[in-house]
Structure 1
């Protein structure tokens, strides 16, 4: 029975050790960053976001140690980078119940919020309900969870949705693994989407018109990205984001990335917290 309450990739969480420095690094490659946010005390984290049409990127840092952020701290003990991907859910409680019906024990739902500085002055609040797949259900080493937005107008703020690099949406989340087929089939089983083999790896759609997951082995990944781009990237796990831009020349100029392949400009992982950021035409 398909999952009714999972609606495709919502946002990608890039976990960082120095939140303010990370925001400057991502702004330097052409992204407009939101004001810094602070989550509810039981989460103990802060963030910056960079918003697109339906999805977004989140830079996440630990401000205070809590039980809720232990998995993030464990990740940061090893490296910075893409820790997890969120799916949009229209009903966090319903989505968690669907996982339980399949014999999985979800974490949550958990409710939290964060203050938001509004462009016209004053402060609003962004509110969310989230649940997580069990921590050991992490295809290719990337954790997954689902996010129900209760106040979309305080997250998708028009004034922060235009980017110097022309970014419009997340096109792909790329995961490096020794066994791309097994990792793709694992993801497919967790979210009820098909895993299909491609000429260079395996693809799993996240749902609807949202981002795809792509799974590669080290040999294929080396063929896709020059050594200068791979510098600073992890040897496994979610290591690259492909961003659709409305103007590749604008993206190249704003990001200072390296042109390679057919219509691709990539920013080396060493510049942005261990994440390869590639731009392709929208």
Structure 2
């Protein structure tokens, strides 16, 4: 039986060492980047967001070391990149309880917030309840958690949802794993969605009409992306974000000299996207 309180992919977290510099790098890829946010002191982190229709990308950096952000600091000691994926939940407390009823010791829920600079010059607040799957449950090296938005109007701001590259949503998250089938089946068990073979990859839907997760081995991943695109990518873990764009030519123009065209897609190399391959396909 599917998890009742998980509604599909909400956002992905790209963890970076220099938060402000990374925001400028992503702007150069044709994204509209939000003003910088500062999370509650318990988290000790700051962020920039890149908003789409129902989902988004989050650039996350450490501002102050806390117990809560130790896993992120451990990740950054090895690499920058796509550290976590968040699922939308309609009730974080009920979602955590549902995991516990299945023998998974969920962490949370935790409540936090951050100030938001609004287009009219005023300041609002974005507030969330989140819970995490146990830290040792990280299929293909990807940590997962769930996020309940209490103030969607201060996160999905229309002025932030239009991008020079035409991006409209996350189409899929691609994970490089030594054993793609095992990693996909692991995620399948954690979120109660089926794992199926699709060509040379294994796919797990995130729920509803939201993005899919695809798991590849090194050989199939190398066939999918030219060497120039894989420059700067890690040899394991979540490695690529594929975004739907309203206009593939527009995406290529926004990327400029970084654009690599291949297999009906346009991609920017990982070394231009904080260790993450950023790829665009027609919506």
CA distance in 2, matches of 1:3, 1:161: 29
Q: In the alignment, does 2:126 pair up with 1:91?
A: no
* Aligned-partner Cα distance in 1 for 2:269–2:60: 20
> Does the 8 Å CA contact 2:260/2:268 hold for their aligned counterparts?
no
- 2:151 maps to 151
Which whole-Å CA distance do the structure 2 matches of 1:66 and 1:113 have between them? Answer: 16
> Cα offset for 1:195?
0.3
User: Are 2:105 and 2:134, in contact at CA under 8 Å, matched by a contact in 1?
Assistant: yes
Residue 229 of structure 2 contacts residue 268 of structure 2 at CA under 8 Å; is this kept in 1?
yes
Q: Distance in 2 between matches of 1:179 and 1:33?
A: 35
* TM-score, reference length from structure 2: 0.99
Say whether 1:258 aligns with 2:259.
yes
Contact 2:239 2:276 in 1 (8 A): yes
Structure 1 gaps of 5+ residues are: none
CA-to-aligned-CA distance 1:33-89 (integer Å, 9 cap, x gap): 000000000000000000000000000000000000000000000000000000000
Work out the CA distance in 2 between the residues paired with 1:206 and 1:91: 17
What residue in structure 2 maps to residue 109 of structure 1?
109
Report 1:157-236 matches (<5 A): 157-236=157-236
The CA RMSD over aligned residues, in Å, is 0.6
Secondary structure, counterpart of 2:6 in structure 1: coil
The answer to whether residue 32 in structure 2 is matched with residue 32 in structure 1 is yes
State the partner residue of 2:47.
47
Q: 1:211-239: CA deviations, max 9, x gaps?
A: 00000000000000000000000000000
The secondary structure found in structure 2 opposite 1:8 is strand
Tell me which residue corresponds to 2:122.
Answer: 122
Deviations 1:226-253 (A, max 9, x none): 0000000000000000000000000000
Cα shift at 1:255? 1.4
